[in-house]
Amino acid sequence: MKILCKKEDLLVGVNTVQKAVSAKNTLPILQGIRLRTEGESIWFEATDLEIGIRCQIPMNILEEGQVVLPAKLFSEIVRKLPDTEIRIESIANNIEIYYENSNFAVNGYDPEEYPEITEIPSADRIEIPAVILKNMIRQTIFSCASEETRPVFTGILLHIEKEVISLVSTDTHRLAHSKSFISENDKEFKGIIPAKTMQEIYRLINDEEIINIQYNNSRIIFKFRTIQIFTRLIEGQFPSYKQVIPQSCNSKLLINSRKFLDTVERASLLSKDNYLKTNTVRFNIENSIININQYSEMGKISEQIDIEQEGENVVISFNAKYIIDVLKVVETENIVMETSGAFSPCVFRPENNDDYLYLVLPLRN
């Protein structure tokens, strides 16, 4: 392989795929990035066998070929190269990088041993505007579980019901459900996508583009611009999320989102429970006021928020982080809070918006 390129083109390719490089796999070659010529461009490729990312960058190809280079070292070299024309030549599995009057030699791996990131044959496909998908990911990804003991909770359920597309996540203590509509679609699909994949999609897509999604029963591909993200679906049965959402409530509140967020964040500073390892916040809701009183060894805080209230008074406690997380993604001026008692699931919705719902379980203290 022999190519002429610019530093900025190498940076785009490396930055796009590097998050798919394996950090803990025992196969050394998976710690590399593959550069492969095709026509008048280079494919940058990385995979950890669960997620794969490919990015196509136009370059001046003098001689075809492919190499696999250690990702961490190669990315650091690229970042430190000068802004000048760069020539890269491969010799067996290694490369020489020439710039100005200097050169850098890097030892690589055998590209024939690198796993192929393949297309899905006979896959169904849909298209969705990136701005919609990006917002849906932002509204749901924080509710995924981080522990891998129950894999189905470490991903986001993609549920396509013809013209309705939903993303759903839960860590068993809370659930986030965001839905949107896609025109002229007759497909149906259910699959659990790893949170890591969704994070990369969120990082890489631009609001103005269209995302092409192809899928089958075990894999899914997201294509946009010159980037392709491949991932395996998580095996297992996702909970029947529609059945756990309450259909009625005893108390319905309308709360200013910004004031609510600021108040809960301040209260959480004094609410660390050293035994439960959670930041507990307690709401005393009565007569169209939320009273929040927090005490700890460090001090105390007492705040009130005026609200619109329908129904019963209630005293209810939550993990403060769970409330803060949803208030940071709600874009409406007010948020609706619905509950049926101190120990019943509580539902939050943006005002006048039925496309997003967040359910959280109260704490029993």
In a domain, 118, yes or no: no
159 and 234 belong to one structural domain:
yes
Beta-bridged to residue 212, according to DSSP, are 127, 223
Residues 90 and 130 reside in one and the same domain: no
**Res. 210: pLDDT tops 80:** yes
Burial class of residue 71, CB neighbours in 10 A (0-12, 13-18, 19+): buried
CA atoms of 96 and 31, how far apart (whole Å): 19
Of 154, 182, 160, 158, nearest to 168 (Cα)? 158
Give residue 257's domain range. Answer: 245-360
CATH number for the domain harbouring residue 289: 3.10.150.10
DSSP code of residue 109: B
User: What is the pTM assigned to this prediction?
Assistant: 0.90
Question: Stretch 212-220: mean pLDDT, rounded?
Answer: 91
Of 88, 113, 138, the residue at which a domain comes to its end is 113
Residue 271 DSSP SS3? coil
Q: Has residue 104 got a pLDDT over 60?
A: yes
Closest CA to 56 of 210, 189, 207, 228: 228
Residue pair 59/98 in contact (Cβ under 8 Å)? The answer is no
pLDDT of amino acid 287: 94
At residue 26, the pLDDT reads 75
Number of domains in the chain: 3
Please write the tens of the pLDDT for every residue from 304-347.
Answer: 999 999 999 999 999 999 999 999 999 999 999 999 999 999 99
Residue 268: how many CA atoms within 13 Å on its side-chain side?
17
Task: Give the closest residue to 227 by CA, choosing from 130, 122, 95.
Answer: 130
Q: Is residue 60's pLDDT more than 50?
A: yes
The CA distances from residue 99 to 34, 68, 96, 122, 275, in Å, are: 21, 20, 10, 45, 58
Q: What pLDDT does 22 receive?
A: 85
76 located within any domain: yes
- Closest of 43, 42, 14 to residue 118, by C-alpha: 43
Which pLDDT tens digit goes with each residue over 141-176? Answer: 999 998 878 899 999 999 999 899 999 999 999 999
pLDDT score recorded for residue 20: 93
Q: Are residues 63 and 156 in the same domain?
A: no
Contact 175, 168 (CB under 8 A): yes
More confident of the two residues 238 and 274: 238
